[in-house]
Amino acid sequence: MLHDLTRHMPPWVLIVLALGWGLLLGWTPALVGPGLLAGLGLGLAAMPAQLLRQGQGAEGPARDAGPVPTDERLAAVMNAIEEPLLLMLGRGVTLANRTALNLLGAHIEGEDIRLAIRHPAAAALFTRFERTGEPQLRQLVGFGGPERRWQMRIAPLGGRVALVQLADLSQKEAADRMRTDFVANASHELRTPIAALLGFIETLSDPMAGGDKPTRERFLDIMATEAKRMDQLVTDLISLSRIEADRYTAPSGAVDLGGLAGVVAKQITAAGGAAADQIELAIDGDMPSVRADRGQMEQLLHNLIGNAVKYGRAGAPVKVTLAPDLAGMVRLSVSDQGEGIAPEHLPRLTERFYRVDAGRSRASGGTGLGLAIVKNIVERHRGTLEFTSEQGVGTTVAVRLPAAPVSLSVS
């Protein structure tokens, strides 16, 4: 039975519960060495007997109804575990940790386990466990919400005692879907320019088409545009990967964001565009530096100001404002006077490859990764990102970043 338990439970749950029961029995484990292993066996072997002794004196269905008295130290040990845990005696819930009570309700202790965890798959699993007495494992789809997915384990502890463990797989499932969608979208975005390049190369290899100079030059221009678009996509993918790899490492340098904004504005103006010569900078005269990575701040500014220029109305100004904010933060905002964005699109703007107008974005050379890169840069810098937009009026993107300590030198 102990072998079944160790095979079907995560080691950290096993160790914590064994330590808790060891404390109940007056056993003090060694931190390392054979004493710990011996203590694990002692604590686990004693768990069923301890629970059964506590449950003696009740007969029939009442034996499983009502909480069994338990030591406060065991409750403390179970509460230290973040995943929902329930101890069962027969069909009754004897003890549940705080996470389980928050998830299922404070009433579940003393209740039938099928009423505590109301799910058809869970009921079937409890029936199978009751019949076989063997460890059980199953996913509960839709438990706690239509998009939620949980994994439930039942581990026998001897006699009529069992441990039920719930693990929330929702975030893992969402992450898996994001990875799948990302690969599919990246493949599609790369396949489009590659198909164009192959088509034009095949056409130019025909002496009749390739020998005509105007046709050849037009095709070569299109090929160059598609190759640049593919190169930009690969560059953005690599950039996004690097930013995500560094997301848990806060930058340690100081950057003059006002001076850098001026440099980026000049670069965008030199590159041209519908509103490239309409960039207006409003930078507070007493601006603190920000704690940042200079290269990533330059990329953030290029993406935000470049988007405003790209989607702004010709002849209308693009305003870049920089000023100190509350609580030691610096606020950067970039505003355009373009068509604006409908409210339903705003929450999805930072999703990879999400486009409000896919045709227009591709025509203007966008990769669909610009705002996803901005979001990851802001998160790495421990800042906040906010979008406000009104259709027919324009869009404002606001970024708040921590100011750098005076002791840091500006890069």
What per-residue confidence (pLDDT) applies to 150?
A: 87
Q: Mind spelling out the 3-state secondary structure of the chain?
A: CHHHHHHHCCHHHHHHHHHHHHHHCCCCCCCCCHHHHHHHHHHHHHHHHHHHHHHCCCCHHHHHCCCCCCCHHHHHHHHCCCCCEEEEECCEEEEECHHHHHHHCHHHCCCEHHHHCCCHHHHHHHHHHHHHCCCEEEEEECCCCCCCEEEEEEEEEECCEEEEEEEECHHHHHHHHHHHHHHHHHHHHHHHHHHHHHHHHHHHCCHHHHCCHHHHHHHHHHHHHHHHHHHHHHHHHHHHHHHHHCCCCCCCCEECHHHHHHHHHHHHHHHCCCCHHHEEEEECCCCCCEECCHHHHHHHHHHHHHHHHHHCCCCCCEEEEEEEECCCEEEEEEECCCCCCCHHHHHHCCCCCCCCCHHHHHHCCCCCCHHHHHHHHHHHCCCEEEEEEECCCEEEEEEEEEECCCCCCEC
Q: How far apart are CA 162 and CA 402, in angstroms?
A: 50
What per-residue confidence (pLDDT) applies to 172?
A: 72
Q: Are 94 and 82 in contact (CB under 8 A)?
A: no
Q: How many CB atoms lie within 10 A of CB 13?
A: 19
What per-residue confidence (pLDDT) applies to 183?
A: 67
* Domain 170-245 CATH class label: mainly alpha
Q: Which fold has domain 250-411?
A: Heat Shock Protein 90 (3.30.565)
In the chain, list all ranges with CATH 3.30.565.10.
250-411
What per-residue confidence (pLDDT) applies to 71?
A: 59
Q: Which fold has domain 2-168?
A: Beta-Lactamase (3.30.450)
In the chain, list all ranges with CATH 3.30.450.20.
2-168
What per-residue confidence (pLDDT) applies to 303?
A: 92
Exposure string for 36-56, b = 16+ CB within 10 A, e = fewer: eeebbeebbbbbbebbeeebe
What per-residue confidence (pLDDT) applies to 205?
A: 79
Average confidence (pLDDT) per 10 residues, the chain, 411 residues = 46 50 43 35 45 45 46 77 88 89 89 89 89 89 80 87 88 67 69 81 74 78 83 82 83 91 89 70 88 93 91 87 90 92 89 71 66 92 94 93 78 62
Angle between helices 72-79 and 11-24 (to 10 degrees): 160
